């Protein structure tokens, strides 16, 4: 059975259809990429899965519809996200940031979820620092660690590699791959770092103007002419001049 099934999921903001009848499944133990140009609806898709925005269509977790569940119930069921804008608590140390998530989701499999999450993202050295003391790259790893501290079954990552250099991104990809391969969690990864996406994902879903335009293995998606036209061939992020990497 799929871990998550999206069935004609649609999100409208006034006249804008940010996500337009999108369907795909996430199999347990896989790393699924979600890509597309600025404004394609990637963040809105994460908002819909986590219950942070109202959507129509159906969303099923292990076969059970969660579409009517409030956000807190979805997070308790193990659906945990990061934010494109990080949203770390600036007045709290890194350890305290992780503790806020670990406490909410107490009872996970790890005896010490904070230590475990710090170790998995290799950011234990930041535990007593404040987010303002960290580089963007390290802060992004901390935001992933904070989500991991919640013991997610499904981890939704919104541009975790933005601001990482090529080497950092590659090491991050290896960490993510290990989390999935050792059964810690299943991952939906949104990012504009095409090398990262192509290197670590099992399957990639492609959105454009809210619609799913392609899906498949990295090799299949790379060779898809529609994807090249909409995204890869244009350098990926150039459509929205006001956009940019948040």
Ligand X SMILES: Nc1ncnc2c1ncn2[C@@H]1O[C@H](COP(=O)(O)OP(=O)(O)OP(=O)(O)O)[C@@H](O)[C@H]1O
Residues that bind Mg ion (CB under 5 A): 42-43, 84
Task: Give CA torsion, residues 67, 79, 43, 116, to 10 deg.
Answer: 180
Instruction: Select the span of 40-48, 110-118, 121-129, 217-225 touching ligand X (CB under 6 A).
Output: 40-48
The span from the CA of 190 to the CA of 246, in Å, is 13
Least distance (Å) between residue 42 CB and Mg ion: 5
Footprint of ligand X on residues 6-25 (CB under 6 A)? Answer: 13, 16, 18
Kindly report each contact of residues 61-66 with a partner whose C-beta sits within 8 Å and lies 24 or more positions away, as own/partner: 61/3, 61/4, 61/154, 62/1, 62/2, 62/3, 63/1, 63/2, 63/5
Residues 4, 6, 32, 40: which binds ligand X (CB under 6 A)? 40
Determine how many CB atoms are found less than 10 A away from the CB of residue 64: 10
Nearest residue (CB) to ligand X, 105 versus 239: 239
Residues 41, 113, 152, 173: which binds ligand X (CB under 6 A)? 41
Determine the Cα angle at 172 with ends 166 and 174, to 5°: 105
Kindly state whether residue 38 participates in binding ligand X, applying the rule CB under 6 A.
yes
Least distance (Å) between residue 122 CB and Mg ion: 26
Binding mask 42-81 for ligand X (x = CB under 6 A): xxx-------------------------------------
Determine the Cα angle at 28 with ends 26 and 29, to 5°: 115
Per-residue tokens: 143 = 């935001």
Binding site for ligand X (CB under 6 A): 13, 16, 18, 36, 38-44, 84, 243
């Amino acid at each position: 059975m799929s871990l998550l099934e999206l069935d004609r999921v649609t999100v409208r903001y006034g006249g804008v259809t940010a996500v337009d009848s999108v369907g795909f499944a996430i199999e347990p133990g896989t790393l699924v990429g979600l890509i597309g140009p600025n404004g394609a609806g990637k963040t809105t898709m994460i908002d819909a899965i986590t219950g942070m925005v109202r959507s129509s269509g159906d969303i099923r977790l292990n076969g059970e519809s969660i579409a009517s569940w409030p956000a807190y119930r979805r997070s308790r069921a193990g659906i945990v996200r990061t934010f494109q804008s990080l949203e770390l608590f600036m007045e709290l140390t890194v350890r305290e940031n992780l503790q806020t998530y670990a406490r909410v989701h107490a009872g996970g499999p790890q005896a010490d979820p904070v230590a475990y999450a710090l170790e998995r993202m290799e950011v234990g050295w930041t535990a007593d620092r404040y987010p303002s003391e960290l580089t963007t790259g390290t802060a992004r790893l901390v935001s992933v660690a904070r989500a991991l501290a919640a013991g997610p079954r499904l981890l939704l990552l919104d541009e975790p590699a933005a601001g990482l250099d090529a080497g950092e991104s590659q090491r991050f990809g290896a960490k993510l791959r290990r989390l999935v391969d050792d059964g810690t969690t299943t991952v939906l990864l949104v990012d504009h770092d095409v090398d990262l996406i192509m290197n670590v994902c099992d399957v990639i879903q492609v959105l454009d103007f809210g619609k799913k335009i392609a899906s498949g293995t990295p090799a299949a998606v790379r060779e898809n002419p529609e994807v090249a036209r909409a995204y890869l061939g244009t350098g990926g992020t150039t459509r929205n001049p006001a956009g940019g990497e948040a």
